[in-house]
Amino acid sequence: MLSYIARRLAVIIPTLILVSIFIFTLQKILPGDPALALAGEERDAATLEFIREKYHLNDPIYLQYINWAGSALKGDLGISLRTNEPVTKLIGSKLPVTIQLAVMAMIIAFLVGVPAGVLSAVKKGTVVDYLANIVALSGLSIPNFWLGIMLILLVSVNLGWLPASGFESIFVDPVRSLQTMIMPAFVLGTSLAATLMRHTRSAMLGVLKADYVRTARSKGVSEHAVIIKHAFRNALLPIVTLSAVLFGQLLAGAVLTEQIFTIPGFGKLIVDAVFTRDYAVVQGVVLCTAIGFLGMNLIADIAYFLLNPRMRSML
């Protein structure tokens, strides 16, 4: 197993280096002068030159990247221009919010998508199958921002059941935290549930045609046991690996949902940083997002390795 992880890391590390180069160079070609943003109202020539020297802005871009990457390896992602706080501190305060949202969205997606996919495969060609596919296609087709706005109008404005926006830490007030996060989690979870439903259905249809399933049925094993113990356990392999990838996408792609519901997570942080030209925050958030996505892909590969005996026998 260690050799398998080493091979995966051999792919991930160069990928992360390329991503970091892309993040840094793309930020540099954006319009605007970081020295002007740092100088504020005191924009005389001496102040600007001092800032450029202090932050190595006069150095060639490859030296600037080396300095930035070296500091990042030490855990120093710079200082926010907007709040004058370390970027690592800002990320540390916002990351748990996005993780909580992503976890709740994945729970909703699992509770809806996986049972719907299994039922659709077992009832293939029936009304249940067609309804499940219609619901799945609807979940994939409806934009998250539209669904979020409609939920706010219906559930918060008209019915008054849940708060329309805001956030409370689950460690401070668990009930209030769940109330503020359930709608955005549902918005994100519906599209994920549709994806999981389609993959679960495909995996189950393939497994139900396997020889060992027919053998189990010929031996008189109950249909419930055939579906749960034999078919679903083997169909679970691609679902687990897909879930890890989807979780990584959630960490990176909850920007619109967090903006709609005013959730102070990664999405809102990077949007505010882009609008205020807070370059250090943008670079730090995108880099951490890339690391999280690559990390979830590694976890997916390890999970598939552990769950699939054929891969272990190949080593």
What is the distance of C-alpha 234 from the center of its chain? 26
pLDDT digits (tens, 9 = 90+) for 65-110: 888 888 888 888 888 877 778 888 888 888 888 888 888 998 998 8
pLDDT band of 279, cuts 50, 70, 90: confident
56 Rama class: left (phi>0) / alpha (psi -120 to 50) / beta:
left
Q: How many CB atoms lie within 10 A of CB 296?
A: 21
Confidence of residue 308 (pLDDT cuts 50, 70, 90): low
Q: In the 8-state DSSP scheme, what is residue 165? A: S
The structure's pTM equals 0.80
- Encode pLDDT of 116-126 as tens digits: 888 888 888 88
Residues 234-266: tens digit of each pLDDT: 788 778 878 877 887 777 667 778 888 888 887
Domain map (residue ranges) of the chain: 2-73, 94-314
pLDDT tens for each residue of 205-243: 888 888 877 888 888 878 778 888 778 877 887 788 788
Distance between CA atoms of residues 197 and 135, nearest Å: 10
Neighbouring residues of 181: CB distance < 8 A, sequence distance ≥ 6: 100, 101, 104, 167, 263
Q: Report whether CATH 3.40.50.620 matches the domain 94-314.
A: no
Q: Is the pLDDT reported for residue 3 higher than 60?
A: yes
Checking if the pLDDT of 150 tops 70, the result is yes
